[in-house]
Amino acid sequence: MSHAPAVTAIDPEVRDWPASRRVEVDEALSHYPNRRSAVLPLMWIAQREWGWLSPPVLRLVARTAELPEPEVFGIATFYTMFNLRPVGRHHLQVCMTISCSLMGADRLFRHLERKLGIGHGETTPDGRFTLRRVECLAACGRGPCMQVNFDYHENLDEARVDALLETLT
């Protein structure tokens, strides 16, 4: 089953949570004694809704968590799982840490760069793929591995990656 987020176009004027996310936001807030502690779950909800955390979205998170905006921006830039730029429908994150690297991650990444015509942090012009190098994805015994949105793909080689890309429309 795919857990891919619905990547939607950002409304640059976003000022509030859509009604469809209100229950999630209230539930996240209810789990903590103070609102600021819910900042990470709020960022996840925002990323699921808008696909990335734009400045207006981070300001919304800051208001909701009652945190200063610079603090929220600092948290968002610390964690690599938060997207600070728009990403394609399929966010390809290739583990480049030592175990995967020894199993061919570097070769695999170069293959993806050539095949897609994009480099690290870039998105194909059709918005289909974003490619990124990332650190350990905690599947070290089954490398090289790649995360596509929220799904893991392990024991990859060029042929398997090519077959996988064909399924990602």
Sheet holding 146-148, edge to edge: 122-123, 129-134, 90-95, 146-148, 151-153
Site size toward ligand FES, by CB under 6 A: 12
For residue 109, the minimal CB distance to ligand FES (Å) is: 12
Angle between helices 22-30 and 39-50 (to 10 degrees): 170
Judged by CB, which is closer to ligand FES: 89, or 91?
91
Binding mask 130-159 for ligand FES (x = CB under 6 A): ------xxxxx--x-x--------------
The HSE-up count of residue 140 (CA atoms within 13 Å, CB side) is: 6
Most distant CA pair in the chain, distance: 50
For residue 155, the minimal CB distance to ligand FES (Å) is: 11
Judged by CB, which is closer to ligand FES: 40, or 140?
140
User: Does residue 92 bind ligand FES (CB under 6 A)?
Assistant: no
Judged by CB, which is closer to ligand FES: 38, or 100?
100
For residue 124, the minimal CB distance to ligand FES (Å) is: 24
With left for phi above 0 and alpha for psi between -120 and 50, is residue 130 left, alpha or beta?
A: beta
User: Does residue 95 bind ligand FES (CB under 6 A)?
Assistant: yes
For residue 158, the minimal CB distance to ligand FES (Å) is: 17
Judged by CB, which is closer to ligand FES: 39, or 105?
105
Write b or e for each residue in 44-67: b if 16 or more Cβ atoms lie within 10 A of its Cβ, otherwise e.
Answer: ebbbbbbbbbbeebbebbbebbeb
Binding site for ligand FES (CB under 6 A): 95, 97-100, 136-140, 143, 145
